[in-house]
Amino acid sequence: EAGVVQSPRYKIIEKKQPVAFWCNPISGHNTLYWYLQNLGQGPELLIRYENEEAVDDSQLPKDRFSAERLKGVDSTLKIQPAELGDSAVYLCASSLGLAASSYNEQFFGPGTRLTVL
């Protein structure tokens, strides 16, 4: 069974440029998460989807970040414009969701390492 797929794995951009990350979760997983991970830190939740609905986006900086999961499967996270401080690893994760359990383990993708110059 394929795991969570993310692309690109690495991205280098100039500040003020836009950037987009793509995630394809494990088949059948209703819940999808986007996390940000800085060096030496744990993942921090940006947004959580239940199917196509964003149920927790309280930590998403909405002035420059946006996300979508139009058909309840794959998802895109966008930053526009990027700032130097956005350099980090962006992780996508998925889980079965509330329908299966309240204690779902999360399955993570390899992440996209973003460098903003």
Partner 1 sequence: SQKIEQNSEALNIQEGKTATLTCNYTNYSPAYLQWYRQDPGRGPVFLLLIRENEKEKRKERLKVTFDTTLKQSLFHITASQPADSATYLCALGGFQKLVFGTGTRLLVSP
Does a cis peptide bond (omega within 30 degrees of 0) precede residue 8? yes
| Residue 92 · residue 25 · CB < 8 Å | yes
Residue closer to partner 1 (CB basis): 81 or 110: 110
Residues that bind partner 1 (CB under 8 A): 4, 31, 40-45, 48, 50, 56, 91, 93, 95, 97-98, 102-111
Q: Compute the least distance from the CB of residue 42 to partner 1, in Å.
A: 3
Q: Compute the least distance from the CB of residue 89 to partner 1, in Å.
A: 9
Q: Compute the least distance from the CB of residue 16 to partner 1, in Å.
A: 28
Residue closer to partner 1 (CB basis): 7 or 81: 7
Q: Compute the least distance from the CB of residue 102 to partner 1, in Å.
A: 7
Residue closer to partner 1 (CB basis): 2 or 80: 2
Residue 115's closest CA among 4, 22, 5, 17? 17
| Residue 6 · residue 111 · CB < 8 Å | yes
Q: For the sheet containing 19-24, what is the strand order? A: 5-7, 19-24, 75-79, 65-68
